[in-house]
Structure 1
Amino acid sequence: MALIKCKNCGHMISDRASTCPHCGHKQKERACSENRTGKQANNINNEEPIKETLIEGTDEHHTNKTLVILIGVLVVIAIGFGSYMFCRNGNKNTDLSTLPDTLTNDSTIVDTVKSDTEILEKPIEVIVTQNAIGTIRKGMLAKIAVPMLADPSAKGDFYDRVEIEETDRYITDICYEVFLYKGKEKLCSFTTDAKYNLSNDAGIPSKKVMGNGRITAFSIYSPSIKLKDGIHVGLTAKELVEKYHAKIRHYENLEYGGLEFVFNKKHKGYSFIAKGEIINSNMESDIDDSEEEFLNLSDVRDCSLKQIDF
Structure 2
Amino acid sequence: MALIRCKGCGQMVSDRAEKCPKCGYSVRLSMEQQEETKQSVEPHTTTLNTSKEEVTNDNPKPQQRGSKKGIIIAIIVVVIIGCGVLFTLLNSNNGSNDQQQDTTAITDTESIKQDELPSDSLAVAVEDAPNDFSIEITKDGIANIRIGKSFSDYNTSLMKQEDIDKQCFDFSIVDIQEKSEFEDVYYAMNMKLYKGQELLCTLFGGYFDERPNTLQATVKSITVYSPQFKLPNGIHAGMSVKELINDYGATIQLNEGEGGENIESISLEIPNCNDFTFNVGKETLLNRYGDEYFNMYDSQSGTYKENFGDNIKKEVAELCDLESIVIGNNN
* Fold shared per TM-score above 0.5: yes
**1:128-178 deviations in Å (ceiling 9; x for gaps):** 2213233332223322x4253644654252112110125699999753311
Residues 130 and 292 (structure 1 numbering): CA distance in 2 closer, same or farther, change over 3 Å?
farther
Which segment is superposed worse, 293-302 or 131-140? 293-302
Shift, 1:192, TM fit: 1.4
Which residue of 1 is the match for residue 276 of structure 2? 270
| Counterpart contact for 2:188–2:206, Cα < 8 Å | no
> TM-score if structure 1 supplies the norm length?
0.61
What is the CA–CA distance in structure 1 between the aligned matches of 2:268 and 2:324, rounded to whole Å?
10
Secondary structure of the residue aligned to 2:321 is strand
Question: What stretches of structure 1 move > 6 A for 4+ residues in a row?
Answer: 93-100, 167-173, 294-299
The answer to whether 1:49 aligns with 2:45 is: no
| Counterpart contact for 1:248–1:295, Cα < 8 Å | no
One-letter amino acid of the counterpart of residue 214, structure 2: M
What is the CA–CA distance in structure 1 between the aligned matches of 2:157 and 2:243, rounded to whole Å?
37
Shift, 1:300, TM fit: 3.2
Which residue of 2 is the match for residue 220 of structure 1? 224
Shift, 1:272, TM fit: 0.7
Secondary structure of the residue aligned to 1:158 is coil
Shift, 1:11, TM fit: 3.8
What is the CA–CA distance in structure 2 between the aligned matches of 1:261 and 1:170, rounded to whole Å?
29
**1:254-301 deviations in Å (ceiling 9; x for gaps):** 35345432211x21132111235599xxx993469xx96599889733
| Counterpart contact for 1:237–1:305, Cα < 8 Å | yes
- Unpaired segments of 5 or more residues in structure 1? 1-9, 18-29, 101-117, 199-204
The answer to whether 1:164 aligns with 2:174 is: yes
| Counterpart contact for 2:254–2:267, Cα < 8 Å | yes
Which segment is superposed worse, 38-47 or 73-82? 38-47
Which residue of 1 is the match for residue 135 of structure 2? 126
- Number of aligned pairs? 252
Shift, 1:212, TM fit: 1.9
What is the CA–CA distance in structure 2 between the aligned matches of 1:170 and 1:244, rounded to whole Å?
39
Which residue of 2 is the match for residue 191 of structure 1? 204
What is the CA–CA distance in structure 1 between the aligned matches of 2:89 and 2:139, rounded to whole Å?
72
Residues 302 and 58 (structure 1 numbering): CA distance in 2 closer, same or farther, change over 3 Å?
farther
Q: 2:91 aligns with which of 84, 91, 109?
A: 84
Residues 42 and 235 (structure 1 numbering): CA distance in 2 closer, same or farther, change over 3 Å?
same
Secondary structure of the residue aligned to 1:227 is coil
Residues 176 and 193 (structure 1 numbering): CA distance in 2 closer, same or farther, change over 3 Å?
closer
Q: Report the structure, 1 or 2, having the larger helix content.
A: 2
Which residue of 1 is the match for residue 144 of structure 2? 135
Which residue of 1 is the match for residue 193 of structure 2? 180
Provide the alpha-carbon RMSD of the alignment: 4.7
**1:172-208 deviations in Å (ceiling 9; x for gaps):** 975331111112111111121474636xxxxxx5xxx
One-letter amino acid of the counterpart of residue 164, structure 1: V
Which residue of 1 is the match for residue 261 of structure 2? 254
Residues 14 and 309 (structure 1 numbering): CA distance in 2 closer, same or farther, change over 3 Å?
same
Larger Cα-atom Rg: 2
Which residue of 2 is the match for residue 236 of structure 1? 240
Residues 258 and 122 (structure 1 numbering): CA distance in 2 closer, same or farther, change over 3 Å?
closer
Secondary structure of the residue aligned to 1:68 is helix
What is the CA–CA distance in structure 2 between the aligned matches of 1:305 and 1:70, rounded to whole Å?
86
One-letter amino acid of the counterpart of residue 156, structure 2: M
What is the CA–CA distance in structure 2 between the aligned matches of 1:99 and 1:218, rounded to whole Å?
46
- Unpaired segments of 5 or more residues in structure 2? 1-30, 108-123, 289-293, 298-303
What is the CA–CA distance in structure 2 between the aligned matches of 1:152 and 1:134, rounded to whole Å?
20
The answer to whether 1:306 aligns with 2:323 is: yes
What is the CA–CA distance in structure 1 between the aligned matches of 2:139 and 2:68, rounded to whole Å?
100
What is the CA–CA distance in structure 1 between the aligned matches of 2:247 and 2:141, rounded to whole Å?
24
One-letter amino acid of the counterpart of residue 81, structure 2: L
What is the CA–CA distance in structure 2 between the aligned matches of 1:219 and 1:236, rounded to whole Å?
18
| Counterpart contact for 1:164–1:176, Cα < 8 Å | yes
One-letter amino acid of the counterpart of residue 157, structure 1: Q
Residues 14 and 122 (structure 1 numbering): CA distance in 2 closer, same or farther, change over 3 Å?
farther
Which residue of 1 is the match for residue 35 of structure 2? 14
What is the CA–CA distance in structure 1 between the aligned matches of 2:223 and 2:33, rounded to whole Å?
151
The answer to whether 1:68 aligns with 2:80 is: no
Secondary structure of the residue aligned to 2:318 is strand
| Counterpart contact for 2:224–2:325, Cα < 8 Å | yes
**1:28-53 deviations in Å (ceiling 9; x for gaps):** xx99xx76x86565343223234444
Shift, 1:229, TM fit: 2.7
